[in-house]
Amino acid sequence: MVSVTFYRPISLDDIDVEPLADEAWADGYPFVERMRHDWKSGENRFDGPGERLIGAFEDETLIGFCGLNRDPYVSENAGRIRHLYVSLDHRHAGVARALVARALDGASIWFPRVRLRSTPASRSFYEQLGFEVVEETEATHAKRLR
pLDDT digits (tens, 9 = 90+) for 72-98: 999 999 999 999 999 999 999 999 999
Q: Average pLDDT of the chain?
A: 95
Give the number of other CB atoms < 10 A from CB of residue 51: 20
Output the CA–CA distances (angstroms, integers) from residue 70 to 53, 65, 81, 105, in the order listed.
12, 17, 9, 15
What pLDDT, on the 0 to 100 scale, is given for residue 107?
Answer: 97
Instruction: Give the mean model confidence (pLDDT) for residues 7-19.
Output: 95
The model carries a pTM of 0.94
- Domain 5-112 indexed as CATH 3.40.630.30: yes
**Short-list 65, 60, 61, CA closest to 36:** 65
Q: Residue 4 pLDDT > 70, yes or no? A: no
Q: Residue 2 pLDDT > 60, yes or no? A: no
**Short-list 141, 121, 123, CA closest to 132:** 141
CA separation for the pair 99, 115 (Å, rounded): 16
Q: Residue 1 pLDDT > 90, yes or no? A: no
CA separation for the pair 58, 43 (Å, rounded): 29
pLDDT digits (tens, 9 = 90+) for 25-40: 999 999 999 999 999 9
What pLDDT, on the 0 to 100 scale, is given for residue 5?
Answer: 85
Instruction: Give the mean model confidence (pLDDT) for residues 86-114.
Output: 97
* Domain boundary assignment for the chain: 5-112
